[in-house]
Amino acid sequence: MLGVDVGLIGGTGIGDRLAALGGKAMHVPTPHGTARGTLVEVGGARAFVVRRHSFGHRTPPHHVPYLAMADALRRLGAKACFSTAAVGSLHADWGVGTMAVCTDMLDLSGRNLTMFDRTVRHTDFSDPFPAHRHLLSALGADAKLPCVYACTDGPRYETPYEVERLQKMGADVVGMTAATEAVAMHEAGVPYGCLAVVTNLAAGLTKSALTHDEVGEAMTKLGERAVEALVSAVEVALRG
Ligand code: HPA
């Protein structure tokens, strides 16, 4: 099997931007399922590019093949994996379009997903997003914004009270995927970084109800900047 330098995972609203990068279809079988994506030349690197929610956004957060994606990247020899994640902001002043780099997380998803189901293996998690440094270096000085990502199981959005509790616990943004992905990548030994893109204020911080269309539309507008940031991070990772 051919190797790759990096993995790129596009979240909500990013699929078409990633498709525009072109490339050849690539399927990687693993004991955890088959990871499907494309092999693309990005920023001078060979990248395995995956749509987290599949073509046409068909896979909900709790069914994303996290272990297959992570194990595929491990088998392909990826030195890092960068992703985007649409998030709700827990700060009234981090509006739509804010981009933040995940440096820590609060995993409330209850997914308990692991590669070590049949052996007792406890993974150090003191650096949950090791590749965040590449993302921070790739962003301009005015755009460096570290964040704590709270992960819920979804697919429903949060209640106002849940959002208030998350704020009190010190989280900055809320989403449904990045913490689980971080666990899978960590266990696979693939340094992972995630760019959180604010698509909405979290429930209760605005008067209007939150819809997936709103999230998707915001992400479609912000996608170009987000993909540019990932490509810059790939360039930094290759140099480093
Ligand atoms: N909550 C959870 N996940 C999300 C949100 C949100 O407000 N926005 C985008 N993904």
DSSP 201-219: EPTTSSSSPP-HHHHHHHH
Please report the sign of the dihedral spanned by the C-alpha atoms of residue 41, residue 44, residue 48, residue 50: negative
Q: How far is the CA of 228 from the centre of ligand 1 (A)?
A: 22
13-30, pLDDT tens digit by residue? 887 788 788 899 999 999
Closest protein CA for atom 9 of ligand 1? 87
Closest protein CA for atom 10 of ligand 1? 87
pLDDT at 43: 83
Q: Please check whether residue 175 is in contact with residue 158, taking contact to mean a CB–CB distance below 8 angstroms.
A: no
Closest protein CA for atom 3 of ligand 1? 175
pLDDT at 94: 96
Q: How far is the CA of 24 from the centre of ligand 1 (A)?
A: 31
Entry pTM: 0.96
Closest protein CA for atom 6 of ligand 1? 88
The tokens for 75 are 């088998």
Pocket probe for ligand 1: among 156, 158, 213, the residue whose CB has the most ligand atoms within 8 Å is: 158
Q: How far is the CA of 203 from the centre of ligand 1 (A)?
A: 9
**Measured between alpha carbons, how far is residue 92 from residues 75, 173, 200, 240 in Å?**
42, 11, 10, 36
Look-up: residue for tokens 């340094």? Answer: 191
pLDDT at 1: 63
Pocket probe for ligand 1: among 210, 220, 222, the residue whose CB has the most ligand atoms within 8 Å is: 210
Q: What are phi and psi of 33, to 5 degrees?
A: 115, 175
Q: Please check whether residue 51 is in contact with residue 18, taking contact to mean a CB–CB distance below 8 angstroms.
A: yes
Q: Please check whether residue 82 is in contact with residue 69, taking contact to mean a CB–CB distance below 8 angstroms.
A: no
Closest protein CA for atom 7 of ligand 1? 88
Counting from 1 in the atom list of ligand 1, the atom nearest the Cα of 61 is: 3
Around ligand 1, the residues with Cβ closer than 6 Å are 86-88, 152, 157-158, 174-176, 199-200, 202, 210, 215
Counting from 1 in the atom list of ligand 1, the atom nearest the Cα of 89 is: 7
Q: How far is the CA of 118 from the centre of ligand 1 (A)?
A: 33
* CA proximity to 3, closest of 54, 73, 63: 73
pLDDT at 2: 76
Q: What is the dihedral of CA 196, 127, 166, 100, to 10 degrees?
A: -20
pLDDT at 15: 76
Max Cα distance, the chain (Å):
52
Residue-level pLDDT, tens digit, the chain, 240 residues: 679 999 999 988 887 788 788 899 999 999 999 999 999 998 889 999 999 998 878 899 999 999 999 999 999 999 999 999 999 999 999 999 999 999 999 999 999 899 999 999 999 999 999 999 999 998 887 778 999 999 999 999 999 999 999 999 999 999 999 999 999 999 999 999 999 999 999 999 998 899 989 998 999 899 999 999 999 999 999 887
76: Cβ–Cβ under 8 A, 6 or more apart, which residues? 1, 2, 3, 4, 7, 28, 48
